[in-house]
Amino acid sequence: MQVQIIKKDIKNINIKVKPNCEVILTAPIQTTKEHIDMVLKKRERWIEKKIVYFKEHQQYTQKEYVSGENFVYLGRNYRLKVIESDAEEAKLQKGYLYLYVKDRDDFTRKEKLIKKWYLEKAKYHFKKALQKYQPIVAKEIKSVKIREMKTRWGSCNASKSYINLNSILIQKPTRCIEYVVFHELAHLIHPNHSRQFYNYMSIHMPDWKLCKERLELTL
């Protein structure tokens, strides 16, 4: 297993497995090789599970937007049904994701309609999560942006009160969405991943570790 090791001015060791199966370990500057080897050995099974997952799902990353294809929304799978119609839209109906489109062979238009539907749902559910947890942190949010991100579910610029959320998060269960939203909101109080930050998370969201573990297998 090839691991890219990066040392920089941080407090804790972090390991990431990218969708291309690249493994990156970042560690504090003073960390010894022996300690890094010990951490890698300890996380070996987790790393292998992530690599297997990404290899198995690489072939499914490109959608064709045809009937029978699977789409995930809030942690549930829905089969797509493409219907020719003058009125174009995507919507959930009777346990299926229906895509009404004028030309069933117009890939670009179908893709645009599905992405629009996902984005609308993301705006709605992310807003609900923000409204639920913002009163807890009692901090102003100046900007919330939703965009597709390759390596993280969300980010926070505490100094500017900006929050970014990954649009793909709408495919995950509601509780996982709430975890990411609260995680980023909590950074408005604790800008780093200190012990105080995680204590704060545990007080207000005792099950945050379960949500984190679930998400770590899918990004």
> Which among 39, 40, 75 is positioned nearest to 172, based on CA atoms?
75
**Contact at 8 Å (CB) between 39 and 13?**
yes
**Contact at 8 Å (CB) between 18 and 151?**
yes
Q: Is the dihedral of CA 159, 162, 168, 171 positive or negative?
A: positive
Q: With a threshold of 0.75, does the pTM exceed it?
A: no
pLDDT of 1 > 80? The answer is no
3-state secondary structure 42-108: HCHHHHHHHHHHHHHHHHHCCCCCCCCCEEEECCEEEEEEEEECCCCEEEEECCEEEEEECCCCCHH
pLDDT of 219 > 80? The answer is no
pLDDT in tens, 140-151: 999 999 998 877
pLDDT of 37 > 60? The answer is yes
| CA count, 13 A, side-chain hemisphere, 95 | 0
Greater pLDDT, 106 or 56: 106
Q: Which residues contact 170 (CB under 8 A, 6 or more apart)?
A: 73, 74, 118, 121, 122, 125, 126, 177
The rounded mean pLDDT for the chain is 91
| Alpha-carbon gap, residue 168 to 71, rounded angstroms | 12
Helical H segments across 138-218, by residue range: 174-186, 195-204, 208-216
Domain boundaries defined on the chain: 3-60, 70-117, 119-216
The verdict on domain 119-216 having CATH code 3.30.2010.10 is: yes
Task: Find the helix or strand (DSSP H, E) in which 132 lies.
Answer: helix 107-137
Q: How many Å from the N-terminal Cα to the C-terminal Cα in the chain?
A: 19
* DSSP category for residue 186: H
Confidence band of 43 (pLDDT split at 50, 70, 90) = very high
pLDDT in tens, 116-145: 999 999 999 999 999 999 999 999 999 999
Identity (one letter) of the amino acid at 149? Answer: M
At 59 the pLDDT is: 45
